Amino acid sequence: MDRALAIRNSDAGTADSAHLGDALDSLRAVFDLDVEATSGPEELDAVLADAEHVIVCGGDGSLHAVVNALGRIGRLDAVTLGLLPLGTGNDFARGLDLPLDPVEAATVIVEGHTVPIDLIKDDHGKLIINAVHLGIGAEAAAAAVSWKKRLGPLGYVVGALISTTKDPSFDLQVLIDDEPLPAGNGLLQVAINNGPFVGGGTPLSPDANPSDGQLDVAVSYATQLSRRFTYARLLRRGEHVHMDEVLVRHAHTVTVTGEAFRSSADGEIEDPESARSWILVPGALRMYVPAVGFP
């Protein structure tokens, strides 16, 4: 029987624990399973040092932390990664067509079907598994932080509404594989997606596939007030990509320069900078996914 390591956040609540028990019991049918609760990067690095099958018990933030720990210790290609969704948004799980119920997600791992998964690497060496966005999306994510604690996924909607009423036009230059995009009269949003969803199920790049060897980039020029509201309305259904003011491209590298901008990487709000770049890392790790439904 193969050994596996299940990792959970030591700060997770008792409700998560109740949902997790049955899922872990399912995994014990096929794995010699160890369970570790960690609370920081150093603990993660230590417990991941020799694991071959790693099960992340948590949401996008927990998955992001484990992937970066594996990158730090040079073990991305030595591990098969599984996910038991326990988070608020679970956007990457949605993008993999994983069940959001932990017990059903455990069944996917037991079935044993895996695929290579791409990653995004930024110019600071951080790995991003799902998405980076800047402009109105990052401003909405920042505005949603306090609301998310009270309202769960609805907090994302509140943050988006708050940001849409402002004037978040950014004077930025975007390079896609070193080809400059039109600057226009300012940009509303730049989205660099590996998976299709952000913000608790919003299809920011609806056709993105984290196993297809390319990034999906969507750049919005919809800065006028009425068009911003149209963009926000269509975004919830993934139809914003058909607007005249939105350019969609595939890429391996993306560079953004200009006035200082805030970005959100896998839900982590980053400090404003005036130049950032991101590169695709194709097939960087393997993950358990449903045998039917993905990709």
Q: Helix 14-27 crosses helix 102-111 at what angle (to 10 degrees)?
A: 20
Per-residue confidence (pLDDT) for residue 157, from 0 to 100: 62
> What class, spelled out in words, does domain 131-280 have in CATH?
mainly beta
Which region holds residue 90: left if phi is over 0, alpha if psi is between -120 and 50, else beta? left
Q: What is the CA radius of gyration of the chain?
A: 19
Per-residue confidence (pLDDT) for residue 16, from 0 to 100: 58
From 288, 256, 283, select the one nearest 76 (Cα to Cα). Answer: 283
DSSP symbol at 145: H
In sequence order, what are the residues at sequence separation of 6 or more whose Cβ sits closer than 8 angstroms to the Cβ of residue 166?
A: 139
- How far, in whole angstroms, is CA 11 from its chain's centroid? 21
Alpha carbons 233 and 157: distance in angstroms, whole number: 11
Per-residue confidence (pLDDT) for residue 88, from 0 to 100: 80
Q: Is the dihedral of CA 138, 131, 79, 68 positive or negative?
A: negative
What are the structure tokens assigned to 176, written together? 């896609």
- Listed by start position, the domains of the chain span 2-112, 131-280
Name the CATH architecture for the domain at 2-112.
3-Layer(aba) Sandwich (3.40)
Alpha carbons 279 and 268: distance in angstroms, whole number: 18
Helix (H, G, I), strand (E, B) or coil at 146: helix
- Alpha-carbon distances of 110 from 30, 78, 286, rounded to whole Å: 7, 19, 15
Per-residue confidence (pLDDT) for residue 14, from 0 to 100: 44
Per-residue confidence (pLDDT) for residue 1, from 0 to 100: 83
Alpha carbons 287 and 83: distance in angstroms, whole number: 8
- Alpha-carbon distances of 109 from 51, 63, 145, rounded to whole Å: 16, 15, 32
192-230 burial, b if ≥16 CB within 10 A, otherwise e? bbbbbbbbbbbbbbbebbbbeeebbbbbbbbbeeebbeb
How confident is the prediction along the chain (295 residues), in pLDDT tens digits per residue? 899 999 998 775 544 566 799 999 999 999 999 999 998 889 999 999 999 999 999 999 999 999 999 999 999 999 999 999 997 889 999 999 999 999 999 999 999 999 999 999 999 999 999 999 999 878 777 776 666 666 665 666 655 665 655 656 889 999 999 999 987 778 999 999 999 999 889 999 999 999 999 999 999 999 888 898 899 899 999 999 999 999 999 999 999 999 999 899 998 999 999 999 999 999 999 999 999 988 7
**Predicted TM-score of the model (pTM):** 0.91
The residue type found at 56 is V
What are the structure tokens assigned to 224, written together? 């006028």
